[in-house]
């Protein structure tokens, strides 16, 4: 009988297929974080507590302005607080935090921001927000179309 000689390449077991690359580890999204490029928070506030809510927003702005943390400066640059001009009929006013661009996976938690920048104001700001809020909703957004041109 004739023996067949195998080349060294033929003697090796077949190569295993390459493993799929590992999926990137993504931290869970916190209540005040976004994974989207645009974001908003919709706050429904008691009309008679609107001044307290706005006072707390002014404290957040102050804390962001005083911060030396780069992330906080980036957050402040894209963060607007706007208020509905519609006359409330149910005793509430709607506020919107419009955030463009979002600093992804960075917390926009108002109490944390005040705690970092104005630690002596935390309890009073917390009380103002707690007493004024009826509800708060986080909204991650994706731009679909620019009506004035562009993409």
* pTM score of the predicted model: 0.77
φ, ψ of residue 122 to 5 degrees: the values are: -60, -50
Q: Does some domain include residue 93?
A: yes
Residue 103 lies in a domain: yes
| Residue 9 included in any domain | no
The count of domains in the chain is 1
Collapsing DSSP to helix, strand or coil, 79 comes out as strand
Residue 88 located in a structural domain: yes
**14 part of a folded domain:** no
The pLDDT value recorded for residue 151 is 60
Q: Work out the mean pLDDT of the chain and round it to a whole number.
A: 86
pLDDT, one tens digit per residue, over 76-116 is 999 999 999 998 889 999 999 999 999 998 999 999 999 99
We report the CATH number of the domain holding residue 68 as: 3.30.70
Determine, yes or no, domain membership for 23: no
User: How many angstroms separate the Cα of 66 from the Cα of each of 59, 62, 134?
Assistant: 11, 6, 29
> pLDDT at position 10, please?
46
18 belongs to a structural domain = no
Angle at 125 between CA 122 and CA 126, to 5 degrees: 80
Residue 53 is part of which domain span?
38-141
Parts of the chain with a pLDDT under 50: 1-10
């Amino acid at each position: 009988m004739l023996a067949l000689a195998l080349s060294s390449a033929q003697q090796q077991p077949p190569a295993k297929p390459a493993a799929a690359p590992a999926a990137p580890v993504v931290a869970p999204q916190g209540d005040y974080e976004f994974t989207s490029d645009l974001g908003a928070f919709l706050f429904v506030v008691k009309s008679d507590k609107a001044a307290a809510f706005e006072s707390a927003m002014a404290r957040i702005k102050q804390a962001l302005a005083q911060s030396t943390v780069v992330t906080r400066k980036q957050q402040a640059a894209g963060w607007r607080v706007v208020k509905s001009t519609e006359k409330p009929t149910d005793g509430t006013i709607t506020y919107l935090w419009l955030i463009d661009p979002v600093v992804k996976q960075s917390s926009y938690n108002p109490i944390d921001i005040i705690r970092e920048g104005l630690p002596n104001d935390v309890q009073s700001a917390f009380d103002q927000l707690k007493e004024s809020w009826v509800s708060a909703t986080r909204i991650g957004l994706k731009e679909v179309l620019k009506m004035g041109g562009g993409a």
